Amino acid sequence: MAPASRGGCLAALLALAACVQPDGTEAASTLAAVAPAPRLSLQDAAARLPAQAAGFLRGQTLPARPPATGQEVAYATAASRQRAAAAVKLAPVGADLPDGPDSPAASAAFQAELHEAVQGRDRARHLREVRRFPLDSAFTCAALEGTYGRQPVEALVCAGGVGGNLVRLKVSMPKQQPALADAQGFASAIIAALRTR
CA torsion sign for 108, 113, 117, 122 is: positive
Q: Which residue has the higher pLDDT, 147 or 28?
A: 147
Output the pLDDT for position 20.
40
Output the pLDDT for position 6.
43
Average pLDDT, the chain: 82
With cut-offs at 50, 70 and 90, classify the pLDDT of residue 196. Answer: low
pLDDT at 1 over 60: no
Output the pLDDT for position 10.
36
With cut-offs at 50, 70 and 90, classify the pLDDT of residue 9. Answer: very low
Taking only the tens place, the pLDDT of each residue in 14-44 is 333 333 444 444 433 333 333 333 578 899 9
Question: For 93, phi and psi rounded to 5 degrees?
Answer: -125, -50
Q: Which residue has the higher pLDDT, 191 or 10?
A: 191
pLDDT at 12 over 70: no
With cut-offs at 50, 70 and 90, classify the pLDDT of residue 177. Answer: confident
Output the pLDDT for position 16.
36
pLDDT at 181 over 60: yes
Output the pLDDT for position 122.
78
Output the pLDDT for position 68.
76
Taking only the tens place, the pLDDT of each residue in 107-117 is 999 999 999 99
Taking only the tens place, the pLDDT of each residue in 61-103 is 999 887 778 999 999 999 777 899 999 999 998 778 999 999 9
pTM above 0.85, yes or no: no
Distance separating alpha carbons of residues 102 and 140, to the nearest angstrom = 8
